[in-house]
A and B are shown apart, each in its own frame.
Chain A
Amino acid sequence: MNPEQVSCKKLWESLSDYIDGELSEELCRKLEEHMAGCEHCRVVVDTTNKVIYLCHSDAQETEMPADVRGRLFETLHIEDYLKPKSP
């Protein structure tokens, strides 16, 4: 392997930083060059991004039930400030 090229292992180890935009331009370029010629690594990056997106989207739908909120305000003795949650 050309010492300038990155290995699959290097890509996996850098995956998080790549997804989060924390890598140098040069390393990004090398990783993207690698992905252009390595289908497995391209899929790993793409599906990792997708997993993060799906988990995040699903979690944002989690709501705190109204009765849980009510009990919380009572426990904290701020039930007088309990306003209806807007939809």
Chain B
Amino acid sequence: MIESTSDDFSLDALRAGDKTEFARFVDAYSTRVYRLALKMLADPQEAEDVLQTSFLKAFQHIREFEGRSSLSTWLYRIAANEALMLLRRRRPELSLDEEPDEDQAPRPRQFADWGALPERELLSGEAKRQLDLAIQKLPEKLRIVFLLRDIEDLSIKETAEALNLTETAVKTRLLRARLNLREALSGYFAERLSDV
């Protein structure tokens, strides 16, 4: 075992079952785990299930944490696995590995220049709903990469560690996710151009 602290938490205390330190850890990361699960699953009850299971597993397995990644990356790995397993249970007939795997990035087809729309249009209630819908429509293995990298601000390296992927695979999936989202949202925002 190396290092006695990780992400400003005492690993020694966590491994010893110190509830004060564990509560501090839960407080620090619970909103993030909940947000990841909610964005991944679009179901508050399932998000709560993933939240609870993730921290239960973290508590149960903290002694096995070797410190090769940060504690937060380790927790995100647990949460991502829980969310992906739940998705697999929803659609057992389709393995996540069987999702179409196009190596080519999607070719952009929407070229409306909506970037200068006013903030009130870009972050309206309806726009936020469209953002959520677009994220939900991403294939799950692209969605999890996008959420970890662009929403939870993990680095490419941390995202790769959390998902047990190579950095190249993370970059490929991230590019596809970003371009897919842009294409989907450009369709919506292009229509708003005529309203302004």
Contact yes or no, A47 B179, CB < 8 A? no
The total number of A-B Cβ pairs within 8 Å is 117
Is B20 engaged at the interface, CB distance under 8 Å to the other chain?
yes
Interface size in chain B (residues, C-beta < 8 A): 48
Contact with B along A16-36 (1 / 0, CB 8 A): 110110000000000000000
Q: How many residues of A contact B (CB 8 A)?
A: 40
Q: A51-B181, A58-B123, A64-B34 are in contact. Are A13 and B175 (CB under 8 A)?
A: yes
What CA separation (Å) do A63 and B34 show in the bound complex? 8
Q: Is the interface of A mostly helix, strand, loop or mixed?
A: helix
The answer on a CB contact under 8 Å between B179 and A12 is yes
- Report whether A71 and B178 are in contact in the complex, using a CB–CB cutoff of 8 Å: no
Q: Tell me whether A44 and B19 are in contact (CB under 8 A).
A: no
The reply on B51 being an interface residue by CB < 8 A is yes
Binding site for B on A (CB under 8 A): 12-13, 15-17, 19-20, 39-40, 43-44, 46-52, 54-59, 62-64, 68-69, 71-73, 75-78, 80-83
23 residue pairs from A and B, CB less than 8 Å apart: A13-B105, A15-B175, A15-B178, A16-B178, A43-B113, A44-B182, A46-B115, A47-B185, A47-B186, A50-B122, A54-B127, A59-B39, A62-B31, A63-B31, A64-B31, A64-B51, A68-B44, A72-B55, A75-B56, A76-B26, A77-B19, A80-B19, A81-B20
